[in-house]
Amino acid sequence: SNRTNPLSSERKKKAPRADSHAEVNGNWTPQEKALHEARLKAKAKRRVRKSSSRSESLSESLSGELADGDSHSPKGKVPVPNDRKSRTGKGRGLPKKGGAGGKGVWGAAGMVYEVEEPDVKDPNYDEIAQGDTVYATVVPELDERELEKTVNPIVQEYFEHGDTKEVQMLLRELNLGHHKYEFSSLAVSLSLEGKASHRELTSRLLRDLVGKELSESDMARAFDKILKELPDLMLDTPEAPQMLGQFIARAIADHALPMAFLDRYKGKVDCDHARAALDRAAVLLSMKREMVRLDNVWGVGGGLRPVKHLVKEMNLLLKEYLVSGEVKEAERCLRDLEVPHFHHELVYEAVVMVLESKGDTAVKMMCKLLQAFWKIGLVTVDQMNRGFQRVYDELPEITLDVPHAHSIMESFTDLCYQESVITKQLRDSCPSRSVPVLSGEGGCSASLCPSKPQA
């Protein structure tokens, strides 16, 4: 048993390691070949067991570091499969090249791309649409609700400044679309509820807009709409049919409406109010020869009238009052003039009429009229003082035609002061109270004049 096999010892000295594939040859015995295969299997099992234990220990150590350490640090992050970022903790973790690299990216911030020429092979390529790009401001079209909200302030402001060019500029900035004609109908409807001066301004506006912003067909559509809405307009303005007829006549005379506008409605009107408006327009047009403009159809009011015309109207107003004695009618006429800043002219004319009148009737009636205007606030204290002061300043010239002007003026100021028409300061400033009336100047002496109390 202690004897050794000389062949096996010789193989051990000359042969290399048995786990090499080069040693596998046909000289091995079946026992040696089976032993070699068992060694290879055991070695493979050890490799698998060793790699699995290493991965488990690495994951446990990393999870422990994340639990104990800072999760925001690069070392504390769990490695993601196929992650190409550096695991050494260097860098800030930003995208490569700041987002400028790679496929399907937008590029770095601030990068300017060159202008790309349109590709003929592009399915969206349009040969007709190619050319210079034009940028324009697109204004959306106004609907009916927004139209009324936008137009009403424009018309109300126009009633204050009266500048038609300003309205034209504002209309150019709006996109009225197929509702363009409704601007005229809204303007006329608002003026029906306003004053005579507003209606005069509206007629001028319609005249200036035709041929620039509106056409005659647009104006005809606007008046057609107003004729249909006339029953509703009469709820707020009972005189709407007559006023609308005057609008139509003025528009035809100003060439804002076509001449055939009235002919279209002959025998085709069922509404009595619309028929009354059209009849009113036909009558006004038949009264004017050669189709001159109906400039006085509204009776120009406010500061639009010349001063001479206003003075004439106030004179006529006072003369009618002296005949009729109706204070309400005089008040209505004065309000229709719409010149509150010019009421001092009425006071001046009233006092001059008192000085030129004969008897006490005019004195009492004018004092009553001024008292009524003072109480209702139609004539302010400033206008009253200014009117009397104008008479005081012109009293020397008035005395040349009216010798008793000083005595009449003094008695009239005393009466007005008693009726609380003027102030005591205004009465005391009357020059007649300091100028004596001599008997040789066509009047009685200061001591004998019965109308003047003695001092």
Local structure of 298: helix, strand or coil: coil
Where exactly are the structural domains of the chain?
A: 144-291, 305-441
Question: How far apart are the C-alpha atoms of 163 and 209, rounded to whole Å?
Answer: 12
204 phi/psi in degrees, rounded to 5: -65, -40
- Those residues with Cβ within 8 angstroms of residue 307's Cβ, 6 or more apart along the chain or in another chain: 342
Question: What per-residue confidence (pLDDT) applies to 12?
Answer: 46
**Residue range 424-431: mean pLDDT, rounded:** 89
Question: What per-residue confidence (pLDDT) applies to 14?
Answer: 47
Q: Is the pTM of this model over 0.85?
A: no
CATH 1.25.40.180 fits 144-291, yes or no: yes
CA 142 to chain centre: 13
Confidence grade of residue 281 (pLDDT, cut at 50, 70, 90): confident
Question: How far apart are the C-alpha atoms of 274 and 256, rounded to whole Å?
Answer: 20
**DSSP state, 213?**
T
Question: What per-residue confidence (pLDDT) applies to 438?
Answer: 45
- Those residues with Cβ within 8 angstroms of residue 151's Cβ, 6 or more apart along the chain or in another chain: 182, 183, 186, 187
- Confirm if 186 and 152 have CB atoms less than 8 A apart: yes
Local structure of 16: helix, strand or coil: coil
Per CATH, the number for 305-441 is 1.25.40.180
Average pLDDT of the residues of the chain:
77
- Those residues with Cβ within 8 angstroms of residue 79's Cβ, 6 or more apart along the chain or in another chain: 62, 87
Decide whether 144-291 matches 305-441 in CATH topology. yes
